[in-house]
Structure 1
């Protein structure tokens, strides 16, 4: 159910991350190699990126498959950024809310994506509704499980919770209400990346001078890629990666530097 990718590091063309690698996110839209659920990610796509001097990201999203957008390859070739979040979508409910349902979701400096599904949606999520302010529910960008999960994360961020803890707490909360859910979440503010591996694949690649990539699956066969264990929360920046159990986000292992 979707493939996604985030990058922080030196400024780079979007194409170097999204279209040029042999197993890029572009190719993963029709031929993913490690996707456990679903086979084709053709229900929309999106990319968000940060421009120098502007803390709020720009987004380009469409309701159709990425390969059908004749403008995207040109955009990816010329747009450069030091922080990117992109996703291709396999919808839980095909066609639901069209472009509005395509990640990344955005608020202020944040970009967010969800790879997975809330089991039993929407009934299973009903007990979580009282945890959100009414205005947040009325402001959901789409009527999807991913938009609801984003609202839960964003509410925590707005109350001062740090990104990794906000993701871990949200995952535990949703999984408690709907235990069979798959909740690989991806979040960036343009300088750092936070992510969870919960029910689907997640990998990272940290390289000195070339930044850090966190992705549903590797976009090439470079041995630098490392798989993230399931039930893990990841925090990364351009210098390295830190992994911790999602059940205990404060008990983090030492950061693995770019080596």
Structure 2
């Protein structure tokens, strides 16, 4: 369920990354090519981006489908950014949270998205609630599994974990509590992108003109797109991508990370 994309690199109009590509996130809202679960991503969308000299990103989120919002298409045509995170949300059961349930979730300089689902939600993660400060639970933007996973990640970030450690530890904790969950997480601070693959697809592209895109699926047919193996932690900057295998809960230590060769 859901599709998401993050970018860091030279300044680009939002639409050049989200709307203009032949299979961009805009089109993935109704015609994804690699989505394994769900078919239509029409229950909300959002984009967060960073303005020059401001570390705190802006967000634009709506409860309806991306294709039905002409204001977004106009905004995406002229707003430029050197970093963004955007997502379209899979059609799901009705809820009261409306656009608050749409990624990206945000705190300070961070933007976050979850592509997947927590098995047995909400009961499966009830044992994890004592690990969160009360203020984190009370500050959740929405009452869905993605918002709770974000609360777990955010608590680790605020405790001083780096982005990779925060994502990896959260994935392993949730996977142990709720086996069979799909936990593709995506996080950016405006300078780097961190992501996990756990049960769904993820790809990355080092663009010819500079910059790195990380996305649920390619937005065009450029042969430079690289698929990320399942059970992997990805860390990317404008120029480099590092892949580290994730171990299963209670499994042996994972192999050493490898730096992807430049192409």
What TM-score, normalized to structure 1?
A: 0.97
Task: Provide the residue aligned with 1:251 in structure 2.
Answer: 256
Distance in 2 (CA, whole Å) between partners of 1:92 and 1:120 is 15
Question: In 1, Cα distance between the equivalents of 2:255 and 2:164?
Answer: 9
Which residue is equivalent to 2:173? 173
Compared CA separation, residues 67 and 214, structure 1 to 2 (3 A) = same
Q: Is the 8 A contact 1:208 1:239 kept in 2?
A: no
Partner of 2:109: 109
Task: Name 1:204's counterpart in structure 2.
Answer: 204
Distance 1:105 1:249 in 2: 29
**Aligned-pair distance for 1:208?**
4.6
Structure 2 gaps, min length 5: 248-252
Counterpart in the other structure of 1:234: 234
Alpha-carbon distance between aligned partners in 2 of 1:43 and 1:13, rounded to the nearest angstrom? 24
Alpha-carbon distance, 1:12 to partner? 0.3
Shift of 1:251: 2.8
What's 1:55 paired with? 55
- Residue 124 (str. 1) matches residue 129 (str. 2): no
8 Å CA contact 1:165, 1:249 repeated in 2: no
In the alignment, the residues of structure 1 paired with residue 9 and residue 94 of structure 2 have an alpha-carbon distance, to the nearest angstrom, of 34
Q: Can you give the 5+ residue segments of structure 1 that lack an aligned partner in the other structure?
A: none
Give the structure 1 partner of residue 162 of structure 2. Answer: 162
User: How many equivalent pairs are there?
Assistant: 258
Deviations 1:62-96 (A, max 9, x none): 00000111111110000000001000001543344
Are the aligned partners of 2:210 and 2:239 in contact in 1 as well (CA < 8 Å)?
no
CA offset digits 1:164-219 (Å, max 9, x no partner): 11101000000000011000000000000000011000000013542000000000
Does the CA-based 8 Å contact 1:164-1:249 persist in structure 2?
no
TM-score by length of 2: 0.95
Listed one character per residue, the Cα deviations across residues 42-78 of structure 1 (whole Å, up to 9, x for unaligned) are 0000000000000000000000000111111110000
Distance 2:236 2:154 in 1: 19
Report if the CA contact (8 A) 2:47-2:84 is conserved. Answer: yes
Instruction: Indicate the residue corresponding to 2:250 in structure 1.
Output: none
